[in-house]
Structure 1
Amino acid sequence: MSLFKSASLVSLLTLVSRIAGLVRELLIASTFGASALTDAFNVAFRIPNLLRRLFAEGAFSQAFVPVLAGMRASDGDGATKVLVNQIATVLAWVLSLTCVIGVAGAPLLVWAMASGLKQTPEGFDSAVLMTRWMFPYIGFMSMVALSAGVLNTWKRFAVPAATPVLLNMAMIAAAYWGAPWFKSLGIEPILALAGGVMVGGALQLGVQIPALLRIGMLPRIGWRWSSFKTAWNHPGTRRVVTLMLPALLGVSVAQVSLLINTQIASHLATGSVSWLTYADRLMEFPTAMLGVALGVVLLPQLAGARGVEDGERYSQLLDWGLRLVVLLAVPSAVALLTFAQPLVAVVFHNGAFKDVDAQQTSVALMSYGVGLVGLIAIKVLAPGFYARQDTRTPVKIAIGVLVLTQLMNLLFVPYLAHAALALSISIGAIVNATLLLVGLIRRGAYKPSPGWLRFVLQVVLASALMGAGLMWATGHFDWLGLKGHWFVRVGLLGACISVAALTYFMCLAATGVRLRQFIKR
């Protein structure tokens, strides 16, 4: 399968997952609105998610995939299977201990994440209870991350990309059927969402097993102490741990930023955490479809090119990824900046979700839109360092960006409230991506191919024309006033997006951009 087809497959499956995610958020917003209890759920869900990103999708994957790909290329599948067994054993032991500590220490974790919930005792207590329910989710998802690393190295991209749909479907079922059932039993309905998270995590891990069996890489976990010691002393494990430590610091920096932002938001107006969460869900649509897809596909390819010292292919892969980022992320950012209110109105403005909630979520979404290109570019540029087994440089940059982000929060929050938190993240992402790009160029690892200036001007012109049309549509229709006319709003939204996309790609074609070149690359 070609690189473009692999990225397209991952992107398509991610699109399905994000559509399911939007349905999930629509149901949650219409059922629960933006209240102290939804803030409590979002805080509780962030805690295992934060640790999942630390141990699983973030630092672990960044360290594990390059070592796994290198061992398979040099030592074959047999030695690689041994490595997978040892890594899975160590991971299972560490996660089991982490889950026990997390359940016991839930009150402290909630206080550290969002002490502002203390203003509403019901919200704080609910957050503690839901944290305890959902904390084992980190165990499921960390093992899913290990499975995904193996499957992606074997170029089996479909299953890892499709599994997030299961979490969304479980939470949809929890919101639609579970919440009313809990209410009939006299149980707080929002607790059903916590149960849905756990069911979704178990389902995601379950579907990995047949895929791993088909390639003969289902890990065997040793639960004896001697098995753990053997696994810990394996050279491959030590190498992964060595690479993981600086990567863990780098991911920790991003999560510390999220922790501080959640803490600040919990002290702002009630609903601030939820407004940011809803905006983040919409912003994740383009970042996941493009950024995650490119990152998943490029990292093993970059590691392979680096392994055989093919510098030209390594540079070409980065160039191809960055051009796709500009081609698709720039118009997406313009759309978020000019069309935020219609997007929020159609997806969330139903049931208990009020006009003020829609307005505040729209402001947050526009703030995220400022840094969308940077957020997606990082997904391409950071693997460029990880493939070189350089996890230190991204860490140093991330630490500097963390300091900058919090300084901007001090400056902006008194004036922009919750939107300032999103804006600071956006500006920080732009700085982060710029420094990563400069670092790769200075090392001679990336040499931009000719034609970049012309290409950027073509994309900016097409995006500007598209944005003008979307801005007119935002002001011309009363998107909030159409609450209760969901099908009308959906039809208008579909028509506006279709015309905008047609305008953008026609303008590109008129200025000489040929999309076929990205397939050939």
Structure 2
Amino acid sequence: MRSARHAARPDSRGPARHAARPGPRPAAAPRTARSPRDGQGARAGLGRSSVLMAVGTVVSRATGLIRLVLQGAALSTGLLATTYNVANTVPTSIYTLLIGGALNSVLVPQLVRAREQHPDGGRAHEQRIVTLVLCVLGVGTVLAVLAAPQIVSLYLADTPRDHQTFELSVEFARFLLPQIFFYGLFAIFGQILNVRDRFGAMMWTPLLNNLVLITLFGLYLGLVGGPHDATGVTAAQVRLLGVGTTLGIALQSLALLPYLRDAGFVLRPRFDWRGNGLRASVTAARWTLLFVLANQVALTVVTRYSADVDTALPTAGAGNTAYFFAQTIWLLPQSVVTVTAVTALLPRMSRAVAEERLDDVRADLSRGLRLTGLVIVPVAFFFLALGPQLTSLLFGVGHHPGPTLPMGRMLQAFALGLIPFSAQYLLLRGFYAFQDTRTPFLMAVCISGLDIALAAACHQLLPTRWAVIGMAAAYSVSYLAGLLVTGARLRRRLEGRIDGRRLARTYGKLVLAGALAAAAAWAVTRTDAGAAVPALLSGGAVMALLFLAVACALRLPELNRPRARLLGAVRR
């Protein structure tokens, strides 16, 4: 594959070549000149879509958190929960390896260009891609179900001591692996809607999955009465958890069909894949597959090491499930803020690259980083200051508070890594807008390699109770290193400019305000060390007020627009 520098040249195979080539272009839908009023309408539509996405994401993540709390109450955080969580990780990992990475990053620019350049507005291209994706997913799902024991063995050891736990994970996996197909269905349907600027459905339909799982774990609690150890779970309980979990993903995916019809997409199989422009998508997806593979290798290593901790300390809550829960909480602001912003930004940046408007790409990346930082930075410091209190409140109900402490420490270890993780996620979309998937792969190799090395060191050198906490910190350190390299590479791609000084000033002020506010919140909570709710209320209030006060005193310009809107709402 050509290098990033070569791909940017006018004679390379990409959008720049089409834009610079003289002579007649293929017949396409006629375009009329857009008036300023049209531009204002488009911006208003994008604003409404962003609000709808944000609200939908918040509701989905809030119900997801309720589901997570109920899951903790039903299965606890010990060895039984690990068998379910490992089996539930497998379909996500395989889907991502099969095609998920390409769907989420490569195909949006390809679909945008097809709609811009194909005479039929890209409809036939979309139908070919959907047909290809469904065929790959169908075959991959069947093979994965047949190979369930071999797949689970990558995550859990099958030794005489661990054989019963291994077999239970395989039983769960057979029920959960069909999720691969439905994950892919949701992703491809969602991307078809995204390129039509229909963002809301993909953010709202996960609510259906969460409601199914909330009902599932509530029913499990009602029937079983609480968590058992891994040896006490019955075949009927395994079927209930497995079928119910897969049903939720299936419902979430199929709920997109009415929105696709309203958006004008016709689900029609097309197998004329050769000679119809799919080669660019497949070539780009090759690097994305390697990108995903690098990440999955790191995930597999960490899962294996953290599951070993659960085997050694089955009731300590210091292994895989605690890591999974802590990471899920840590990712919530990323899911609500950064993913929502990227969903709207990637099609815009892809169009800007296709039209050679690099200044607009820089502006979108800078604006996205600065606005998401307003939320990501203070939340990261909130997790650092109040992680144990938060996990105690969410997962300490009905159980001895001791097992939630390792999870709280993991959340603290993850905490500040949220800042580079979010920024890295957004910057990679800059490469995807250029259809450059090779550079993200190289970044993933660097990050995953460092994460694996640090996780192995934690596994070998730290006491068992602290090993997974160290792995959470290793994850954060890895993404900080990856962000530095990614920023330097993207700066070169954008001709040496990425608005670095402005970003450094903004994030410097945000980090200073967040650090001072977190220190004050931590000091306040020392007086409520045994009570999670008073500590969170008092610490959270102090932190929010002090953060806003310091940020305003530092004259952070990104606060001007939210503050003006708030004042306007109060006056009305």
TM over 0.5: yes
Give the match for residue 206 of structure 1: 254
Structure 2 CA distance for partners of 1:8 and 1:497, relative to 1, 3 Å: farther
1:267 aligned partner, one-letter code: D
TM-fit CA distance, 1:300: 0.8
Contact in 2 for aligned 1:4/1:518 (Cα 8 Å): no
- Select the residue among 482, 485, 498 that pairs with 1:447: 498
Q: Identify unmatched segments of 5+ residues in structure 2.
A: 1-41, 227-232, 565-572
TM-fit CA distance, 1:100: 1.0
Q: Who wins on radius of gyration, i.e. which is larger?
A: 2
Q: Hey, what's the Cα distance between the residues in 2 that align with 1:457 and 1:186?
A: 54
Structure 1 residues 503-512 or 441-450, which shifts more? 441-450
Answering whether residue 516 of structure 2 is matched by residue 465 of structure 1, we say: yes
Q: Hey, what's the Cα distance between the residues in 1 that align with 2:489 and 2:182?
A: 36
Give the match for residue 367 of structure 1: 413
2:382 aligned partner, one-letter code: A
Q: Hey, what's the Cα distance between the residues in 1 that align with 2:234 and 2:302?
A: 34
Per chain length, whose mean CA-contact separation is higher, i.e. which structure has more relative contact order (CA < 8 Å, sep 6+)?
Answer: 1
1:124-135 matches, cutoff 5 A: 124-135=166-177
- Select the residue among 416, 424, 439 that pairs with 2:474: 424
Q: Secondary structure at the match of 2:82?
A: helix
Answering whether residue 335 of structure 2 is matched by residue 288 of structure 1, we say: yes
Q: Hey, what's the Cα distance between the residues in 2 that align with 1:406 and 1:449?
A: 30
TM-fit CA distance, 1:342: 1.1
Give the match for residue 474 of structure 1: 525
Contact in 1 for aligned 2:389/2:535 (Cα 8 Å): no
Q: Identify unmatched segments of 5+ residues in structure 1.
A: 222-226, 483-488
Show CA shifts across 1:320-361 (max 9, x none): 011123322221211111110111011111224x43321110
Give the match for residue 493 of structure 1: 536
TM-fit CA distance, 1:456: 2.9
Structure 1 residues 505-514 or 274-283, which shifts more? 505-514
Q: Hey, what's the Cα distance between the residues in 1 that align with 2:472 and 2:224?
A: 34
- Select the residue among 326, 336, 343 that pairs with 2:390: 343
Structure 1 residues 41-50 or 7-16, which shifts more? 7-16
TM-fit CA distance, 1:5: 5.3
Answering whether residue 325 of structure 2 is matched by residue 278 of structure 1, we say: yes
1:220 aligned partner, one-letter code: R
Structure 2 CA distance for partners of 1:505 and 1:86, relative to 1, 3 Å: same
Contact in 1 for aligned 2:57/2:336 (Cα 8 Å): yes
Give the match for residue 304 of structure 1: 351
Answering whether residue 309 of structure 2 is matched by residue 263 of structure 1, we say: no
Structure 2 CA distance for partners of 1:300 and 1:128, relative to 1, 3 Å: same
TM-fit CA distance, 1:122: 3.1
Answering whether residue 477 of structure 2 is matched by residue 435 of structure 1, we say: no
TM-fit CA distance, 1:279: 0.4
2:550 aligned partner, one-letter code: C
Give the match for residue 35 of structure 2: none
1:324-339 matches, cutoff 5 A: 324-339=371-386
Answering whether residue 546 of structure 2 is matched by residue 508 of structure 1, we say: no
TM-fit CA distance, 1:190: 5.3
1:92-241 matches, cutoff 5 A: 92-115=134-157, 119-178=161-220, 180-181=222-223, 187=235, 189=237, 191-221=239-269, 228=271, 230=272, 232-241=273-282
Q: Hey, what's the Cα distance between the residues in 2 that align with 1:192 and 1:500?
A: 43
Give the match for residue 224 of structure 1: none
TM-fit CA distance, 1:49: 0.9
- Select the residue among 346, 369, 376 that pairs with 1:322: 369
Q: Hey, what's the Cα distance between the residues in 2 that align with 1:375 and 1:157?
A: 23
Q: Hey, what's the Cα distance between the residues in 2 that align with 1:33 and 1:316?
A: 46
Q: Hey, what's the Cα distance between the residues in 2 that align with 1:403 and 1:144?
A: 30
TM-fit CA distance, 1:501: 2.2
Show CA shifts across 1:100-125 (max 9, x none): 11111111111112226863433212
Q: Secondary structure at the match of 1:167?
A: helix
Q: Secondary structure at the match of 2:198?
A: coil
Structure 2 CA distance for partners of 1:79 and 1:118, relative to 1, 3 Å: farther
Q: Secondary structure at the match of 1:355?
A: coil
Show CA shifts across 1:232-291 (max 9, x none): 315332221111010111011111110111011122233411110110111111121122
Specify which structure has the higher proportion of helix: 1
Structure 2 CA distance for partners of 1:119 and 1:477, relative to 1, 3 Å: farther
Give the match for residue 39 of structure 2: none
Contact in 1 for aligned 2:99/2:133 (Cα 8 Å): no
Give the match for residue 22 of structure 1: 65
Show CA shifts across 1:423-448 (max 9, x none): 22111111112211111112235430
TM-fit CA distance, 1:127: 0.9
Q: Secondary structure at the match of 1:102?
A: helix
Supply the RMSD in Å over aligned alpha carbons. 2.4
Q: Secondary structure at the match of 2:435?
A: coil
Answering whether residue 122 of structure 2 is matched by residue 83 of structure 1, we say: no
